[in-house]
Amino acid sequence: MQNTAMNESTAANSASDEDNQISCDTHGCRHTTFVCRHLAADPVQPWYCDYPAEDNPWPDAWCGECNLAYEREGEWNELNSDVADIQLLCSGCYDDGLAKSVGYLAGDALIAWEAYVDDCCQSLNSKQSILQDDFQINQYPRWDYDQATAQLVFSGADVPDLIADVEFVGTLSTVSHTWKWSWTNFSLLAPVRSRINAVRAVGEANNYPHLLVPLWHADQADGWHMTSIATDVLGGIAAYRAPSDNGYIFMVILDLRHASQA
Ligand SMILES: [Zn+2]
Ligand SMILES: [Zn+2]
């Protein structure tokens, strides 16, 4: 989404780190972020903001009403900035608010989203049998993934190793109970998250907030739901869930073959 800085201090980008800190009663000392007063008061609505970037994890955000005022002027200036009445939020409150925003789906839009999730889950369920029926992945005592090659390798069995080409979908934290899309996980190498933006594009085309919001409260079922959508969008042949430090990494398997065929 088109965006410009709402506040001189973000535009200037010259302030020291200390100037970008804010003390929050809930989160302690955190990074300063800027949102319109409507999002600050009620985050459960669509957020108009850029996607997080490695050098800008909390882009300025505003609500739909403010976005009309923004588009009218094509920028934030003295004619429309009163509408937004920019508020400072700590980055923890920003993350919490944005995470809650997915809850605005209701009525027919919610029904359409749930139907889409159901369709993708059924499709993935029918695909998953390939892992056991055709490739018996359970007979491999070990697996390793290599982000640089975007490969998941099953090995240690009497039969040739299995090589899967994968795309990481996201991570499910069983500590914070959150889902984080791989497109916003800048600690992952590019080869395992080079295709996932196509899933976000489906979210943009259909106004599916769960595909657009970088991180939201979730359980393992949500992880599989998002992975089933990614498998469908990316034309995957199956999906895989691997344990990680704080939960699980979900991946789409794009291709699967024995090492002897590689
Ligand atoms: Zn607003
Ligand atoms: Zn806070």
82-117 pLDDT, tens per residue? 999 999 999 999 999 999 999 999 999 999 999 999
Determine the structural domain holding residue 85 and report its residue range. 8-103
260 pLDDT tier (thresholds 50, 70, 90): confident
Task: Tell me the ligand closest to 88's alpha carbon.
Answer: 2
- The mean per-residue pLDDT over the stretch 150-167 comes to 95
Average pLDDT, the chain: 93
Distance 76 CA to ligand 1 centre (A): 12
**Percent of the chain's residues with pLDDT above 90:** 89
Distance 40 CA to ligand 1 centre (A): 9
For residue 1, being part of any structural domain is answered with no
Q: Say whether both 112 and 181 belong to one domain.
A: yes
Tell me, what's the pLDDT at 3? 45
Q: Say whether both 191 and 228 belong to one domain.
A: yes
Tell me, what's the pLDDT at 19? 76
Angle at CA of residue 180, ends 30 and 201, nearest 5°: 115
Q: Which amino acid is at 4?
A: T
Q: Which residues surround ligand 1, an ion (CB under 5 A)?
A: 36, 38, 62-63, 66
Q: Say whether both 53 and 34 belong to one domain.
A: yes
Residue 12 and residue 179: Cα distance in Å, rounded? 32
Tell me, what's the pLDDT at 196? 98
For residue 3, being part of any structural domain is answered with no
Distance 153 CA to ligand 1 centre (A): 48
179-237 pLDDT, tens per residue? 999 999 999 999 999 999 999 999 999 999 999 999 999 999 999 999 999 999 999 99
Distance 21 CA to ligand 2 centre (A): 11
Distance 65 CA to ligand 2 centre (A): 24
User: Which residues are CB-contacts of 127 (< 8 A; sequence separation ≥ 6)?
Assistant: 231, 236, 237, 238, 239
261 pLDDT tier (thresholds 50, 70, 90): low
- Among the candidates 103, 121, 147, a domain finishes at 103
User: Domain count of the chain?
Assistant: 2
Q: Say whether both 72 and 128 belong to one domain.
A: no
Distance 150 CA to ligand 2 centre (A): 36
Tell me, what's the pLDDT at 100? 98
